[in-house]
Amino acid sequence: MNSISNRVDRILELFPARRWYTALTPFERLVSTILSQNTSREATIKGFENLRRRFKIVPKVLAEATVEDIRECIKPSGLYNSKAPRIKELARIILNEYEGNLDSLTRLPPHIARESLLKIPGVGFKTADVFLSTVCGTDTFPVDTHLTRMAKRWNMVKANATYEHIRVAFEAAIPGEKRQNAHLSLIEFGREICRARQPKCATCPIYGECEWERKGDFKAGA
């Protein structure tokens, strides 16, 4: 077992995966992933619940809603000026190109489903991979800002690594059956301990294994 795999196992024990979205439809999953960009889980949930109180979250309804109304609902999730038109456009495309139903996409081979998702404006690598992992049940490992930071601190990739470099590095280190939980646990670890600013290196459970050359700077005061 490699060193990254060992530390991921430890983090899986200490930061169990938390899911709030178990009952979402595929379209709701896409909308929630757009809302989650650059914000916390709590802010994502608030914006999503506001939207759900106001609208039925189906492509036809959101394609017909005004950007202003969507924006008003999703304000708690932040970046609402860009997220609102993206959600409306997403709804319009899924209504027009998928007849409002993403089931056909979930039946495609994963790499073709990924290509199709990436063609939808507003759907980037992370959103496509979250969809593949949580809706299609593939072992894709989505990468977010926390995972990017950890991959670099742990010397898994170079400083200028792309999304795909980081995804491949994590997939090489974590067995397929653990990836979905590991994704969530590592995000939790990144929020709580391996934070962007003032990481809690002093109390970090994997301090001894971590490769980050600056970890000593944060050993005293966390």
Stretch that binds ligand SF4, among 22-30, 51-59, 79-87, 207-215 (CB under 6 A): 207-215
Report CA dihedral (82, 25, 46, 192) to the nearest 10 degrees: -90
| Cα 55 from Cα 45, distance rounded (Å) | 15
Minimal distance, residue 196 CB to ligand SF4, in Å: 10
Strands of the chain, DSSP E: none
Q: Does 204 bind ligand SF4 (CB under 6 A)?
A: yes
Under rule CB under 6 A, residue 215 binds ligand SF4? yes
Considering beta carbons, is residue 48 or 154 the nearer one to ligand SF4? 154
DSSP state of 221: T
Rounded Cα–Cα distance for residues 31 and 87 (Å): 6
Q: Does 153 bind ligand SF4 (CB under 6 A)?
A: yes
In the DSSP assignment, the letter for residue 153 is H
CA pair distance 24, 102, nearest whole angstrom: 13
Q: How much of the chain is in helix, strand and coil states, percent to nearest 5?
A: 65, 0, 35
Stretch that binds ligand SF4, among 55-63, 80-88, 95-103, 196-204 (CB under 6 A): 196-204
Based on the shown chain and the rule CB under 6 A, indicate whether residue 51 belongs to the binding site for ligand SF4.
no
Q: Does 173 bind ligand SF4 (CB under 6 A)?
A: no
Q: Is 206 in the site for ligand SF4 (CB under 6 A)?
A: yes
Tell how far CA 45 is from the center of its chain: 13
Least Cβ distance, residue 97 to ligand SF4 (angstroms): 42
Determine, following the binding rule CB under 6 A, whether residue 4 of this chain makes contact with ligand SF4: no
Nearer to ligand SF4, 127 or 185 (CB): 185
User: Of 118 and 202, which CB lies nearer to ligand SF4 in the complex structure?
Assistant: 202
Beta carbons of 201 and 222 less than 8 angstroms apart: yes
Applying CB under 6 A, the residues found at the interface with ligand SF4 are: 153, 193-194, 199-201, 204, 206-207, 210, 212, 215
